Amino acid sequence: MLTGFEGFFEHSQEDASTILSAATQWVRENKENRFFLYIHLLDTHTPYRPDPVMMERFCEEPPTGYSEQMTYSLLHGHLKGELEDTTKLDEFVEHYSNLYDAEIATLDAKLSTFFANLSAMGLDDRTVIAITSDHGEACGDHGLILKGCRFYEGLIRVPLMISWPGGPRGEVVSHPVEHIDLGRTLLDMSGFQADDFPGRSLLGAIDGSAPAEPRFSISANGKCAAVIHEGWQLTLNLRMH
């Protein structure tokens, strides 16, 4: 039972087109009422299957012998001696990264269509929209190919875009913020300032009134920790020797 939601739709395939189509129809049926809609898209997870047009734009033909699993295994030393020319690993990682870019571009195009549909329904001037991600991909950095349980820049620096009626357009906040504050921010923007909810509004980060405090992080398994302060990041990675 998923508490807090009146309806739930799940598609067995990681396909944004199907999910966004269902979301568009749901909004069309509920646009006259106040609503909260959460959409979780998994297209930018492996295995990457970008649109052919984006494939042509971002990717050349894969190197001979390439596969996502082969690349992952080589980076982690699981296939030593099984690839005659191990220098091809760089080519494998580059192709993997290009696939990732193509997949992101594919999802961007699908989201663009979805938001155009919302605009056509007249929701621009009364809807708060937030786009974010839970993590990035290493794409070969630090010997990692997937997300891993680390606090490296490529994994933890994710986009957060918020649009709301009367809000600024094109403004960029350069210092990091935390996901725990997103829910509180959306409530404030929607007129629920009095409701008790964890976090603090990110509106202070936009107008510059939020203090620049050190930020501390620790991974779920306790093997990684980080401190971020005044543009510097200290990361500690623990492993068995």
List pLDDT tens digits, range 104-138. 999 999 999 999 999 999 998 899 999 999 888 88
Please state the rounded mean pLDDT for residues 60-82: 73
> Looking at residue 1, what is its pLDDT?
44
Q: What is the mean pLDDT of the chain?
A: 84
pLDDT at 98 over 80: yes
The structure's pTM equals 0.82
Q: Which of 149, 133, 123, 128 is nearest to 42 (CA)?
A: 133
pLDDT digits (tens, 9 = 90+) for 142-197: 777 777 667 888 888 888 999 998 888 888 887 778 888 999 999 988 888 777 88
- Give helix 88-120 / helix 68-75 axis angle, nearest 10°: 120
Please state the rounded mean pLDDT for residues 47-61: 91
Q: What is the share, in percent, of the chain residues with pLDDT greater than 70? A: 89
> Looking at residue 109, what is its pLDDT?
96
> Looking at residue 241, what is its pLDDT?
55
Highest mean pLDDT among 95-99, 108-112, 210-214, 223-227: 108-112
Q: Which amino acid is at 124?
A: D
Task: Give 226's strand partners.
Answer: 217, 235
What SS3 class is residue 148?
A: coil
In total, the chain counts a number of residues equal to 241
Alpha carbon 13 to its chain centroid, in Å, reads 18
Instruction: Tell which wins on pLDDT, 199 or 10.
Output: 199
Question: φ, ψ for residue 185 (rounded to 5)?
Answer: -65, -45
What SS3 class is residue 131?
A: strand
